[in-house]
Amino acid sequence: MSSELFFSTIGDLRARLDSRDLSAVELMGVMIARTKAVEPLVGAFNSFDERDALAQAAASDARRATGATPGALEGIPVGLKDVIAVNGQPLTASSKMLANFVSPYDATVTTRLKGAGAVLWGRLNCDEFAMGSSTENSAFHPTGNPWDVTRVPGGSSGGSSAALAAGEAIATLGSDTGGSIRQPAALCGVVGLKPTYGLVSRYGLIAYASSLDQIGPFTRTVEDAAIVLGVIAGHDELDSTSWKAAIPDYRAELQRKQGPWTLGIPKEYFAEGLDPEIGAAVAAAIAFYESQGCRIKEISLPHTQYCLDTYYIIATAEASSNLARYDGVRYGHRSQQAKDVVDLYFKSRAEGFGAEVKRRIILGTYVLSSGYYDAFYLRAQKVRTLIRQDFTNAFQEVDALITPTSPIPAFKMGAKSDPLAMYLCDIYTIGVNLAGLPAISVPCGFTRGNLPMGLQLIGPPLQEANLLAIAQAYERAYPWSQRHPLL
Amino acid sequence: MNYEAVIGLEVHVQIRTHSKVFTRVAAGYGHEPNTLTDPVVLGLPGALPMMNKAALDAVIKAGLLLSCKIAPVCKWDRKNYFYPDSPKNYQISQYDQPICLGGSVEIELPGAARNIMGEHKKIPLTRIHLEEDVGKLSHGITESLVDYNRAGTPLMEIVSDPAMHTAEEAYAYLSSLRSTMIYGGISDCDMEKGQLRCDANISIRPVGQTALGTKVELKNLNSISFVRDGIAHEIKRQTGVLERGGVIVQETRDYDGTTGTSQSLRSKEDAHDYRYFPDPDLLPVRVDAAWQARIQAECPELPFDKQRRFMERYQLPYTLASVLVGDRGLADYFEEAAQISGKPQGVGNWVVNDLLRELGSANLPLKHAKVRPADLAALVQMLEAGTILSHAAKEIFSEMFATGDQPEAIADRRGLKVASTASDELEQWCREAIATNPRALAEFKGGKESAINAFKGPVMKAAKGKANPKLVDEVLRKLLIAS
């Protein structure tokens, strides 16, 4: 247990800030010192702007001094994955392509965080264009897992999970296209929430796969996740795919929603390839719920075996089109060797993109090509409907599904050089994106090697409040996130 | 051998909306380069499109005006290709489910003479879809510049069936389409500003053959007359190729209207694979019956329907009717004045001959005309009632046009009204006229009614043109019968 300020929760810090026991500037000073101390080991940030953060903190203190009701995140340092636009700050997607790009506008989530008083702190590393499961695809540098810096923090939002686990931020945002919030949360021992598709605006999020991408929070506790979600969720008229749903007070709902619940165990998620220690930890969590009076039901998601293939067709098809804009004409990396416009495209993109991004662009271009569209893209869309239907059927019987988040704990950097082996990291998380569902990863213990493990809870669309309550019931009994890495 | 041409047109029409089709930035022409932009227009990382409902309304209106079937769902697709004028390197468009299907454009071919109405035909349409316009490139010697002001302007693509056979038909099609779009307030269709752009697909085949020949796409038909000339040129070129025993190559050709020549841009082998797929950023939009009904209520009468109605209801000759319906504002102006005056033919003549001439020489648009329809109606009524004479009416009209005053007031002020009761003077002039023309008097007495006209000239001359012709007729008749 650590009582260090930089390992505090939003709830605790809000109380101290509101009582003037602590100022936002003091808090930010602590975060800066901590970040500078551990960054050489962790490498969670692509960049940070101390002066800007301190100025934001001072502005927050000034707002609090007026006596106005403080915003939900007033004075709280929140880090953003480097795919979310902040006006005047770098926006690189951890790619050479955008290494020198500064965003001239705010993402909608950025506007909302600012509106809630958050102090935006740093640009967090990730796999290039959010493509990967280890953050090793960053064009700049890898990020170390704070529990063992020779291991990966997961990905693609590895900078967001590592910064939080290492005490360099109080909360962070990531984006999740096939597990990119939940898997790094599991590997770093923090809470990671992927909201229902469309609950949080994507405006200002660098698109990887538009029909799958969703922004969500990394926090130390389920309650903190509820607080951040309450700030960033809600309809945005700049995003046509955003839900026009009423947003509940998630934090208040946590008090109201009590079990027992009916929880489903999808048998396909406990097959070969699951690390036995993780399997045992999840089984223990299931036993806990059962002991609390929950009904546990084995269910089937029969199309699970097609999730990976379906995902890699749809995601890459969308990516091939989404990433076409990075051509060196208007902004971003521009080759100095080009002879004409076609050459400019070839060379700028050849120089600006890394291997995994190129692999996915080529794959996506192929599946959309004339003569292949029906066999790949169209068929994948049909299978996607079946996968979604599997979940819909399951939720006729259960309130939520319990699964492992990742089949394996944090692995050594460089251990998965085969792309297919890397893709298997997302085997339990990808179906959720294809179905557009909310899911949360909560810490569920440590391996014998002291690596965190994660439990995934999946809910029906827009049932975040219930999902958070189910997660919190476990967290109260097993507060694993109170353990912190020694750095 | 005799050949028949088969022509289909692809017409792009910019929709006149305040803002662009997928963002709030203003749409416009003639601004400083790259000032009508924002993250969405420039395709910045993270920017997302949001549909402008006014643009969809306009396409639905175009579809209803052209009797198309409106799709129940408006769905968006991405057309992927790399070109510097396309900020995202894909264009948001509609691929397999265009918003409008079928329909037709009514055309009028030239008549045997200017005052004879030519044949009317309906040219069937394939589809109309909505998409975003691209930016504009300008090429220097060592560099090329891009202006994204035009990028994201809502653009309709109107595709005809390959159903036209002459350059004249294509010309008539484009003219009719253009005036329909202007009538509907959908676009100003200014070709110089690129608000209407036309590509033509042309093939020829021996007369009697049903299979289509190899088509050539002709681009850069930048004015309506270039469309006619370019197509005529292409038909001649293809006929020449076949007559020399050659074969037509499927290709895209660029027509240069100033030199009247064309050259090959690219052949079929260079055709793109656009990798169309549904745009995941834009949800499909349901267009229900109520939505259609709302747009239907805003649809104006079509130009040719109006022409038919003017000819039937107001008994206007074709030449007047066709000029009047050439401009919706002019037609409305005419109809208002015609209804007030009850003298549609007189009003029609005044509008077409006098009002248009004055507007032309003053270089004014109709909306700035000082003569109101009600005033023109009053003028025509005064003239037809004989209160003023035609040369006086012309004088009054010129002053109405210059000042906006009412005709009654002008006539009074300038003493241009003819007397309404016979004066002693008039009776005296009539007596003199009869006395000096005994031959006409004898003819009249002998039963030749029209002999009365022989006296009128001298009377009018004596009255210096200010006599009321009705009164002159009355007085003469009375005196002739009495003598």
Distance from C-alpha of B335 to C-alpha of A422, rounded to nearest angstrom? 75
Distance from C-alpha of A317 to C-alpha of A314, rounded to nearest angstrom? 5
| Chain B hits for A326, Cβ within 8 Å | 45
Contact (CB<8Å) A330/B87: yes
Distance from C-alpha of A215 to C-alpha of B48, rounded to nearest angstrom? 15
B306 domain residue, yes or no: yes
Same domain, B406 and B306: yes
Selection from A158, A86, A168 nearest residue A125 by Cα = A158
Same domain, B274 and B235: yes
Catalytic residue among A81, A194, A347, A416: A81
> Å from B118 to nearest chain A CA?
46
Contact (CB<8Å) B82/A324: yes
pLDDT in tens, A321-334: 999 999 999 999 99
Q: Mean pLDDT for chain B?
A: 94
Statement: residue B387 has pLDDT above 80: yes
pLDDT in tens, B150-168: 999 999 999 999 999 999 9
| Chain A hits for B39, Cβ within 8 Å | 104-105
Same domain, B410 and B428: no
**Residue A81 a catalytic site member:** yes
pTM tops 0.90, yes or no:
yes
Instruction: Provide the residue ranges of all domains of chain A, joining segments of one domain with +.
Output: 5-264+396-482
B-side interface with A, Cβ within 8 Å?
39, 42-51, 78, 80, 82, 84, 87-90, 144, 146, 273, 275-277, 280-283
| Chain A hits for B146, Cβ within 8 Å | 329-330
Distance from C-alpha of B273 to C-alpha of B80, rounded to nearest angstrom? 8
Same domain, B203 and B105: yes
Contact (CB<8Å) A83/B46: yes
**Residue A210 a catalytic site member:** no
Distance from C-alpha of A222 to C-alpha of A457, rounded to nearest angstrom? 12
pLDDT in tens, B177-213: 999 999 999 999 999 999 999 999 999 999 999 999 9
pLDDT for the residue A1: 36
Distance from C-alpha of A207 to C-alpha of A325, rounded to nearest angstrom? 11
Return all residues near A69 (Cβ < 8 A) that are at least 6 apart. none
Along chain A (487 residues), what's the average pLDDT of each consecutive run of 10 residues?
A: 81 95 97 98 98 98 94 98 98 98 98 98 98 97 98 98 98 98 98 98 98 98 98 97 95 90 96 92 98 97 97 98 97 95 96 98 96 95 98 98 97 91 90 98 98 98 98 97 93
Helices B53-65 and B167-183: crossing angle in degrees, nearest 10, is: 130
> Å from B23 to nearest chain A CA?
8
Same domain, B74 and B218: yes
Strand, coil or helix: B255: strand
**Joined tokens for residue A147:** 């529990």
| Domain boundary, last residue among B244, B269, B293 | B293
Same domain, B88 and B129: yes
Distance from C-alpha of A75 to C-alpha of A97, rounded to nearest angstrom? 33
Contact (CB<8Å) B275/A370: yes
**Residue A156 a catalytic site member:** yes
Higher-confidence residue of A392 and B272: namely: A392
pLDDT for the residue A3: 61
Write down the ipTM of this complex. Answer: 0.96
Return all residues near A130 (Cβ < 8 A) that are at least 6 apart. A81, A83, A93, A156, A157, A175, A177, A180, A206, A208, A213
Selection from A237, A247, A208, A236 nearest residue A109 by Cα = A236
DSSP secondary structure string, A372-434?
TTIIIIIHHHHHHHHHHHHHHHHHHH-SEEEEES-SS---BTTS--SHHHHHGGGTTTHHHHH
pLDDT in tens, B418-447: 776 667 888 888 888 898 888 888 898 888
% chain A with pLDDT above 70: 99
pLDDT in tens, B39-91: 999 999 999 999 999 999 999 999 999 999 999 999 999 999 999 999 999 99
pLDDT for the residue A258: 85
B419 domain residue, yes or no: no
**Joined tokens for residue A465:** 């409040």
Same domain, B363 and B478: no
Contact (CB<8Å) A98/B275: no
Same domain, B349 and B309: yes
Same domain, B285 and B322: no
pLDDT for the residue A2: 44
pLDDT in tens, B457-471: 888 888 877 777 888
| Chain B hits for A345, Cβ within 8 Å | 82
pLDDT for the residue B269: 65
Same domain, B146 and B217: yes
DSSP secondary structure string, B190-224?
-GGGTSEEEEEEEEEEETT--S----EEEEEE-SH
| Domain boundary, last residue among B293, B314, B346 | B293
Contact B186, B63 (CB under 8 A): no
* Residue of A325, A345, A346, A366 best to disrupt the B interface, most CBs of B under 10 A: A325
Please give the residue range of the domain that contains residue B384. Answer: 301-414
Superfamily of domain A5-264+396-482: Amidase signature (AS) domain (3.90.1300.10)
* Side-chain half-sphere CA neighbours of B36 within 13 A: 27
| Domain boundary, last residue among B293, B309, B337 | B293
In the numeric block, the tokens 């209801």 are attached to: B313
In the numeric block, the tokens 């990028």 are attached to: B151
DSSP secondary structure string, B41-106?
HHT-TT------HHHHHHHHHHHHHTTPEEPSEE--EEEE---TTSTTSEEEE--SS-SEES-EEE
* Residue of A200, A240, A241, A244 best to disrupt the B interface, most CBs of B under 10 A: A240
**Joined tokens for residue B303:** 């130009």
Contact (CB<8Å) B273/A369: yes
Please compute the mean of the pLDDT values over residues B115-124 and round it to a whole number. 96
B241 domain residue, yes or no: yes
Contact (CB<8Å) A210/B281: yes
Residue in B43, B276, B280 nearest the CB of A325: B43
Distance from C-alpha of B45 to C-alpha of A98, rounded to nearest angstrom? 9
Same domain, B62 and B155: yes
Q: What is the CATH number of the domain that holds B428?
A: 1.10.10.410
Question: What count of other Cβ atoms lies within 10 Å of the Cβ of residue B274?
Answer: 17
| Chain A hits for B281, Cβ within 8 Å | 207, 210, 240-241
Considering only CA atoms, give the Rg of chain B.
Answer: 31
Contact (CB<8Å) B88/A325: yes
Return all residues near A116 (Cβ < 8 A) that are at least 6 apart. A71, A72, A73, A74, A231
Same domain, B201 and B252: yes
pLDDT for the residue B389: 85
Residue in B45, B89, B280 nearest the CB of A210: B280
